Structure 1
Amino acid sequence: MAQSTAPFSGFEFMIAWRYLRARRAEGGVSVMTWISLIGITLAVFALILTLAVRAGFRAEFVDTILGANAHVTVYSSGVVGEDGQLIRGFTQPEAMAAAIARVPGVTRAAPLIKGKLMVSDGEDTTGAEVYGMSPEDFAAIPRIGAGSGAIGDLARYPEGIALGSGIARELGVTVGDRVRLISPSGVRTAMGTTPRVNAYEVVYIFTAGRYDIDTTRIYMPFIEAQSFFNKEGRADEIEVMVENPDAIESYGDAILKAAGPAAMLWTWKDSSGAFLRALDIEDNVMFVILSVLVLIAAMNIVSGLIMLVKNKGRDIGILRTMGLTEGSVLRVFFICGAFTGVIGTVAGVILGCVTALNIDQIMSAINWLNGAEVWDPSIRGIYSLPAKLQAGDVLSAVALSLGLSFVVTLFPARRAARMNPVEALRYE
């Protein structure tokens, strides 16, 4: 009577390793093993790289939103003036900003003037959106103000204007040049309203990291913006920054209470929430699709093991007559398949992590080979393809690959274990 042995004993690994080193006559088994190994490697590599790019894109996109825009915008629903016209904005913006800044969790509240106009250097003209903001508040914007890597002298901001790098590139201007700002709603005269045209020196050029911001946004001092847009003594909005932007909903009631009954809120999630939700759906779909690719790669292990079991039928019969148990036979062939899955997973993890960590150099090489930029910031919003490795994503890919590899290996291994030794040796 055959006696049971300890699971995964040394001789089981020895037999499995012997079977994996196929001889010339068993070249088909060796080829299938290599195909399975390469398939698992590429599938895990693709999964890890996709998860890293997805995480990097989301992190970069959210960072550009929070680093160059208000977390909460407080605006007025409008009041009816003495002449019966609807007046929007706040008539005491400094006092309201100070009240909002006292709300727990609010880090900054700044009055803001906004207006659309044309900007020209004399030859070229483009549209832009002007943000009127005090020097202190402008310097505090993370991706635009102090420490953002912009060019120019931030201390000279009260003397001129700050341009986005996209506008400066389109107009061909740099720090020290002068541009003209043209507003259709300009000077009121007895003959009506005439366009206002003022020339300003470019003292600062910033790059926020978002194509749509860098190509459309101009900053000027708050008082100058009030005069330029005929909004003396008032502000269009109050820009609010908070400690925890992800929990922006928790600040809403307190900010509204501080701002007064005529105030309304618009958060960064209101403006970008639909896009972020679309990213979440896309992430889930991509994970499912790539999981199917891992499953297909793992199924190659089944093909290789079935061929191996068929070729080793005589060996299985001999081993069974020598006392090897069904469990030992099952474990031998399970080790054969699992070994392929483990090696392929490790190789895929290494390849995926190395690629994700060197994504910038790889994209540069692709651009060089292509002869042009393959990443268009005007379409994708940000300037480069980001990648952010996260331990959870890597572990998810490893767990998925190993889990599928181990599960699919059980079926041919079980078939080998249940092989009748008499039938296996009948025609030998």
Structure 2
Amino acid sequence: MYKYLLCWRYLRTRYIALASIISVMLGVATMIVVNSVMAGFSTMMEERLHGTLSDIIVESFSLNGFNNPDEVLAAIEEAAGDQIDALAPSLQLFGYAMIPVGGGEYLTREVQIIGVRPEDRARVSEFAEYLVHQPREGQADLPPAEPTFHVPEEFRLNTYAGQVYQRTDPDDPFADILLEDMANLVPADGMILGYALGTIHRPESDEDLFIAPEGSKVILHFPSAGKTPEAKTGEFTVVSYFKSGMSEYDSMQVFVPIERLQFLRGQDGFVNQIQVKARPGADLEAIASAIRLTLERKWPTRFLVSTWEQKQGPLLAAVQVEQNILNILLSFIIAVAGFGILGIFSMIVVEKTKDIGILKALGASDSGVRGIFLGYGLTLGLVGSLVGMTGGLLFVRYINEIEDALSVMTGRKVFDDAIYYFPEIPTLVEPLTVAWIVGGALLIAVAASVWPAQRAARMHPVKSLRYE
């Protein structure tokens, strides 16, 4: 019983121990907050990366692609059988987009042009969930858009030529000229434009300025296929926007009708990628391996087959490495608290040498004296860990409110949503991670008190009583 009474007395009277408690508390709280935010970002990133891609991607080694997509689709279905939910061919290439900005000026950007059938793309990925319209007057949020390249007639009628045409007799020869002007201003082929390509974010107002509004014409330049590529041009009308929340995609990707892109390149029927949607719960790596073996047997060295995780492996691995390095660095905070406990306990052992001698003279055992200091260290670690865990979880719970307050105090955005377009800081509290953080802090606190406790237990009562 005396061990617990002395532990409680030391905890109440030794205010220097408060420094150790604070160190443990800060270390635990910081690690919980960092791990929760990193896990939230990682999970959100994985969801959006997976949402932009299907479960399995079959690509040709050559950007020119292949002209027998039906045979390849049949081979994929043969290899995977009933494990496949949907298939969608596409044609991807790099080029340049020219966006009119007025006064005869154009904003030229490098883009990834993706020819798709939007309804097929929506079946193999979360493509449809990332499509939005430009908000109308009075709307704060971006309304969702349908996966289609249809160009509404109102886009043509809203032009100056369209307004004149509505007041012109259709039999008037001038009407044909107006129709031609309307077709030049608003091409019949629709385009889904990357959100960051068609807008400019203004942090001071948290609004986006649309430089390529719906109904505007965008000109694409891209190389043709063949041994001697030539420059090809296509004109498209913006009908909606692709907003995945990943800036590298939203600022690069544009989606156009695959048949139109094939025609402009002089490659009718050619595709260079097939997206494969597997059934829920299926083993993606096993399916990819089966598809790879089948395609390799039929068309050696022509196709690359990978799962979405393998496709984005370097990016996901980089995030994991960054999280691991942060954990190692932040664990030093708790290690510093451990050295603080070691120093404080060593000082207490020296200061209480006579008291220890009296205890041992009264019959206290070595294990009893050792238990006093081990219990003291455990108590310090437990109090610091519990307070730090509570503070860390509360910080995670109200992190967005804290971010808003810090932004007001500093006059600048702490979390710039222009990078990822996240409406708020994503967090994910993993109970297992919290458990090992708290357990690690307790282990360090107890380990730091072992040496002073052992030193106190080995003291000889007579020598301790003569100590000055």
Q: TM-score range by the shorter chain?
A: 0.7 to 0.9
Tell me which residue corresponds to 1:154: 146
TM-score between the two structures when normalised by the length of structure 2:
0.75
Residue 91 (structure 2) aligned to one of 101, 113, 130? 113
Q: Distance in 2 between matches of 1:238 and 1:298?
A: 56
Q: How does 1:17-416 map to 2 (within 5 A)?
A: 17-22=8-13, 29-31=14-16, 33-77=17-61, 88-101=64-77, 103-104=80-81, 105-123=83-101, 124-125=106-107, 126-140=109-123, 142-146=125-129, 151-154=143-146, 156-159=148-151, 160-170=190-200, 172-173=210-211, 176-185=214-223, 195-200=232-237, 202-243=238-279, 248-257=284-293, 259=295, 260-261=298-299, 263-267=302-306, 268-375=308-415, 383=422, 385-416=425-456
Q: Distance in 2 between matches of 1:421 and 1:18?
A: 22
Letter in 2 for 1:30: Y
Q: CA distance change for structure 1 residues 419 and 151 in 2, over 3 Å: closer, same or farther?
A: same
Letter in 1 for 2:399: I
Tell me which residue corresponds to 1:6: none
Tell me which residue corresponds to 2:183: none
Q: Is the 8 A contact 1:140 1:146 kept in 2?
A: no
**Deviation, structure 1 residue 335:** 1.7
Q: Distance in 1 between matches of 2:231 and 2:4?
A: 89
Q: Distance in 1 between matches of 2:31 and 2:129?
A: 38
Q: Is the 8 A contact 2:353 2:467 kept in 1?
A: no
2:3 counterpart SS class: helix
TM-score between the two structures when normalised by the length of structure 1:
0.81
Letter in 2 for 1:308: I
**Deviation, structure 1 residue 344:** 0.5
Q: CA distance change for structure 1 residues 241 and 142 in 2, over 3 Å: closer, same or farther?
A: closer
1:30 counterpart SS class: coil
Q: Is the 8 A contact 1:211 1:377 kept in 2?
A: no
Q: Is the 8 A contact 2:131 2:144 kept in 1?
A: no
**Deviation, structure 1 residue 178:** 1.7
2:92 counterpart SS class: strand
**Deviation, structure 1 residue 43:** 1.2
Q: Is the 8 A contact 1:94 1:111 kept in 2?
A: no
Q: Is the 8 A contact 1:111 1:133 kept in 2?
A: yes
Q: Distance in 2 between matches of 1:332 and 1:148?
A: 64
Q: Distance in 2 between matches of 1:246 and 1:311?
A: 66
2:66 counterpart SS class: coil
Tell me which residue corresponds to 2:170: none
Q: CA distance change for structure 1 residues 179 and 56 in 2, over 3 Å: closer, same or farther?
A: same
Q: Is the 8 A contact 1:151 1:175 kept in 2?
A: no
1:157 counterpart SS class: coil
Tell me which residue corresponds to 1:5: none
Letter in 1 for 2:146: L
Q: Is the 8 A contact 1:184 1:194 kept in 2?
A: yes
Letter in 1 for 2:89: P
Compare 298-307 and 286-295 and name the one that shifted more.
286-295
Letter in 2 for 1:255: I
Letter in 1 for 2:36: A
Aligned alpha-carbon RMSD (Å): 3.3
Deviation string 1:45-68 (CA, Å, 9 cap, x unpaired) is 222223223323332222222110
Letter in 1 for 2:15: S
Letter in 2 for 1:49: V
Q: Distance in 2 between matches of 1:333 and 1:246?
A: 55
Gaps of 5+ in 1: 1-8, 23-28, 79-86
Q: Distance in 2 between matches of 1:280 and 1:245?
A: 24
Q: Is the 8 A contact 2:73 2:87 kept in 1?
A: yes
Q: CA distance change for structure 1 residues 62 and 186 in 2, over 3 Å: closer, same or farther?
A: same
Q: Distance in 2 between matches of 1:152 and 1:15?
A: 66
Q: Is the 8 A contact 2:22 2:384 kept in 1?
A: yes
Q: CA distance change for structure 1 residues 76 and 317 in 2, over 3 Å: closer, same or farther?
A: closer
Q: CA distance change for structure 1 residues 70 and 358 in 2, over 3 Å: closer, same or farther?
A: same
Q: Is the 8 A contact 1:16 1:332 kept in 2?
A: yes
Q: Is the 8 A contact 2:90 2:272 kept in 1?
A: yes
**Deviation, structure 1 residue 290:** 2.7
Gaps of 5+ in 2: 133-141, 152-189, 201-208
**Deviation, structure 1 residue 421:** 2.6
Q: Is the 8 A contact 2:86 2:124 kept in 1?
A: no
Identity score, percent:
24
Q: CA distance change for structure 1 residues 219 and 98 in 2, over 3 Å: closer, same or farther?
A: farther
Q: Is the 8 A contact 2:118 2:148 kept in 1?
A: no
1:154 counterpart SS class: coil
Q: Distance in 2 between matches of 1:415 and 1:182?
A: 78
**Matching of residue 15 in structure 1 with residue 3 in structure 2:** no
Q: Is the 8 A contact 2:199 2:211 kept in 1?
A: yes
Q: CA distance change for structure 1 residues 258 and 426 in 2, over 3 Å: closer, same or farther?
A: closer
Q: Distance in 1 between matches of 2:122 and 2:213?
A: 17
Deviation string 1:249-297 (CA, Å, 9 cap, x unpaired) is 3223322355441541142445432333334443433333333331221
Q: Distance in 2 between matches of 1:76 and 1:148?
A: 27
